[in-house]
C-alpha cells in the first residue's frame, strides 16, 4: 500500500507542478523537470537496455529529447486529467521515434522487445494511475515494494537487494513473479 | 549538453501558456469552420442540385449522406483525441469512421444491380476532382490545428484527419452532382476518399511529426 500511496502522491505533486509551470512559475517548473528527468532516466534506460543500445550518452540524449518535448507540448496537458499518462505517452512517442530513426540508420533493434516494454501495463498511454493502483494493490506487500523500487524509481537490482536485505537473485525472482501476476491480472480485467 | 543544462535552458525559456481546449471543443470549432469553408466553395464555384427535395424518397442516397456526415464528425473527434497525449480513445471511436465509410460503400454496393454503362463514364472523374477542391481548405485547417497539438500515432492520426476532410468533400459533391446511379456514387464519390486516405497519409505523416 506504501507503493500505491507513493504513486498517488507523486501524481498529485507532478500535476500541481505542471499546473503552476503552465502559469509561468519557474521554481515549480524546475522541480517538475528534475522529477521527470529521474523518472525518464529509469524508463529510458530500460528501453535502451532491451534495444541493446545502453551507454554512449544515448540515454541522456533521449531524456533530453523528452524534456524538450514536454516543454514544447506543455500546453496540451489538461489539469483535469492525470499527469503521468500524459508524460508517459510523450516519452513513449519519443522512444518509438528514436527506435524508428535507429532502424533507418541500420542499427539492429529487437522491435518486439521494445513493443513489450512500451505496452507493459505501467506505461501504456491509455492506462491511468488509478488502474495501476488497483493492479499493484493486488500484489503481495513484498512484491509491491520491490516493484516500486526497481520499475518505478529506477533502482538497480543490487540497490534494491541492499535496501531490502534480500539476495539479488531473490529480488529478481520476486519482481519476475510480480510482473507475471500483474500481466495475469490485467488480462483478467480486460476480459 | 547535459540534462542539467537543458533544464536550465528550458526554465529560462518558460512563459505562461494557455491550455489547449478539450477535444470536444476543438472538434466543434473545426466542424463549424470546415462546414463554412465547404459551403463557400460549393456555393461560389459549383451549384446545389435543383432536385434536392425529391432525394428524401431515395433511401440509399440518404444513407450515403448520413454515413458521410458520421465519418466527418467521428473522424474529426478521433483526430483530436489522438493528438492529445494521455487521452484514452475507446475501441469504438477508433473504428467508427471506418464503419461509416463501410456503410456508405455497402449501401451503394447493394444498389449495384441497376448497373448502367453511363455510370462508369469517365466524365464522372470531375466529381472526384471537386471532392479534392472542397476538402482542401478543411484539410489544411485541420492539419494546422493538429500540428499545434502532439499527435502520437502518426499513421492513425493521418488517416482519421484525411477521412474527416474528404468525407466532407464527398458530402459536398453529393449536393452538387445530379447523378443518382449507385456505380457513379461509389466509383467517383466514395472510392476517391479511400484512395486519398491511402496516398495522403504518406504525406501527412511527415507533416505531423514533431
Mutual orientation of helices B59-82 and B154-176 as an angle, nearest 10°? 150
Mean pLDDT confidence for B54-82: 91
Integer Cα distance of A79 and A129 in angstroms: 15
- How is residue B67 written as a grid cell? 454515413
Instruction: Quickly count: other Cβ atoms within 10 Å of residue B206's Cβ.
Output: 9
Q: Do A73 and B150 touch (CB under 8 A)?
A: yes
pLDDT at A123 over 70: no
Side-chain-facing half-sphere of B32: CA atoms under 13 Å: 5
C-beta separation of B192 from B165 below 8 A: no
Cβ neighbours of B6 in A, within 8 Å: 64, 67-68
Residue closest to A117 by CA, chosen among A183, A35, A188? A183
**Averaged confidence pLDDT in chain B:** 88
pLDDT of res. A148:
74
Q: pLDDT tens digits for A35-59? A: 999 999 888 888 877 777 766 677 8
pLDDT, average across residues A152-167: 75
Exposure pattern of A176-191 as b/e (b: 16+ CB <10 Å)?
A: eebbebbeebbeeeee
- SS3 category, A119: coil
Q: Rounded to an integer, what is the distance from CA A108 to the centroid of its chain?
A: 24
| Nearest CA-CA distance, residue A47 and chain B, Å | 18
Q: Which of B7, B209, B210 sits opposite A67 (nearest CB)?
A: B7
More confident residue, B124 or B162: B162
Q: Which residues of B touch A89 (CB under 8 A)?
A: 85-86, 152
Asked if B181 contacts B114 with a C-beta cutoff of 8 angstroms, the reply is yes
Using pLDDT thresholds of 50, 70 and 90, give the confidence band for residue B186: confident
Whether B16 sits inside 8 A of A22 (CB atoms) is yes
Q: Are B146 and B23 in contact (CB under 8 A)?
A: no
For B86: left if phi > 0, alpha if psi spans -120 to 50, otherwise beta; the answer is left
B47: burial class by Cβ within 10 Å (0-12, 13-18, 19+)?
Answer: exposed
Partner-chain contact B89 A33, CB within 8 Å = no
A95 is written with which cell numbers?
522512444
Q: Grade residue B34 by pLDDT with cuts at 50, 70 and 90.
A: very high
pTM to 2 decimal places: 0.74
Q: Which of A63-67, A116-120, B100-104 has the lowest mean pLDDT?
A: A116-120
Residue of B nearest to A78 (CA): B19
Q: How far apart are CA A160 and CA B178, in angstroms?
A: 74
Q: Could you tell me if B1 lies within 8 Å of chain A, comparing CB atoms?
A: yes
Quick check: ipTM above 0.95? no
Q: Per residue in B88-100, pLDDT tens? A: 778 899 999 999 9
What lies within 8 Å, CB to CB, of B91 at 6+ separation is: none
CB distance A67 to B6 below 8 Å? yes
Using an 8 Å Cβ cutoff, are A171 and A160 in contact? yes
Q: Which of B6, B15, B86 sits opposite A85 (nearest CB)?
A: B86
Report yes or no: B208 and B147 within 8 Å, Cβ to Cβ. Answer: yes
Quick one: pLDDT at residue B85?
94
- pLDDT tens track for A76-121: 999 999 999 999 999 989 988 888 877 776 655 454 544 554 555 4
Q: Do A73 and B7 touch (CB under 8 A)?
A: no
Residues near A174 by beta carbon (within 8 Å), at least 6 away in sequence: A142, A143, A146, A166
**Contact with chain A for residue B93, Cβ under 8 A:** no
Confidence of residue A186 (pLDDT cuts 50, 70, 90): low
Amino acid at each position: 500500500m506504501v507503493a500505491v500511496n507513493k504513486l498517488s502522491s507523486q501524481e498529485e505533486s507532478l500535476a500541481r507542478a505542471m499546473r503552476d509551470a503552465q502559469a509561468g512559475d519557474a521554481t515549480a517548473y524546475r522541480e517538475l523537470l528534475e522529477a521527470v528527468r529521474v523518472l525518464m532516466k529509469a524508463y529510458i534506460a530500460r528501453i535502451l537496455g532491451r534495444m541493446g543500445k545502453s551507454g554512449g550518452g544515448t540515454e541522456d540524449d533521449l531524456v533530453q529529447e523528452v524534456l524538450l518535448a514536454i516543454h514544447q507540448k506543455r500546453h496540451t496537458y489538461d489539469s483535469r486529467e492525470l499527469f503521468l499518462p500524459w508524460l508517459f505517452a510523450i516519452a513513449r512517442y519519443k522512444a518509438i521515434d528514436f527506435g524508428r530513426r535507429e532502424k533507418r540508420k541500420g542499427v539492429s533493434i529487437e522491435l518486439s522487445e521494445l513493443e513489450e516494454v512500451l505496452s507493459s501495463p505501467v506505461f501504456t498511454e491509455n492506462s491511468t494511475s488509478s488502474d495501476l493502483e488497483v493492479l499493484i494493490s493486488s500484489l503481495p506487500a513484498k512484491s509491491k515494494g520491490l516493484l516500486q523500487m526497481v520499475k518505478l524509481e529506477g533502482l538497480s537490482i543490487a540497490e534494491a537487494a541492499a535496501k531490502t536485505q534480500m539476495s539479488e537473485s531473490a529480488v529478481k525472482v520476486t519482481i519476475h513473479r510480480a510482473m507475471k501476476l500483474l500481466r495475469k491480472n490485467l488480462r483478467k480485467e480486460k476480459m | 549538453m547535459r540534462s542539467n543544462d537543458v533544464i536550465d535552458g528550458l526554465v529560462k525559456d518558460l512563459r505562461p501558456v494557455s491550455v489547449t481546449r478539450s477535444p470536444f471543443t476543438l472538434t466543434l470549432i473545426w466542424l463549424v469552420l470546415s462546414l463554412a469553408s465547404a459551403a463557400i466553395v460549393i456555393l461560389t464555384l459549383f451549384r446545389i442540385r435543383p432536385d434536392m427535395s425529391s432525394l428524401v424518397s431515395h433511401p440509399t442516397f440518404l444513407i450515403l449522406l448520413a454515413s458521410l456526415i458520421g465519418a466527418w464528425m467521428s473522424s474529426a473527434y478521433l483526430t483530436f483525441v489522438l493528438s492529445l497525449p494521455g487521452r484514452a480513445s475507446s475501441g469504438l471511436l477508433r473504428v467508427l469512421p471506418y464503419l461509416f465509410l463501410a456503410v456508405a460503400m455497402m449501401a451503394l454496393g447493394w444498389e449495384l444491380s441497376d448497373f448502367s454503362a453511363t455510370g462508369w463514364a469517365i466524365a464522372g472523374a470531375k466529381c472526384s476532382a471537386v471532392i479534392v477542391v472542397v476538402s482542401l481548405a478543411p484539410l489544411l485547417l485541420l492539419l494546422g490545428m493538429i500540428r499545434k497539438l502532439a499527435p502520437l500515432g502518426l499513421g492513425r492520426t493521418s488517416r482519421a484527419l484525411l477521412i474527416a476532410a474528404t468525407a466532407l468533400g464527398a458530402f459536398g459533391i453529393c449536393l452538387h452532382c445530379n447523378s443518382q446511379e449507385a456505380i457513379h456514387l461509389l466509383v467517383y464519390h466514395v472510392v476517391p476518399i479511400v484512395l486519398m486516405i491511402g496516398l495522403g497519409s504518406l504525406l501527412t505523416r511527415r507533416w505531423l511529426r514533431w
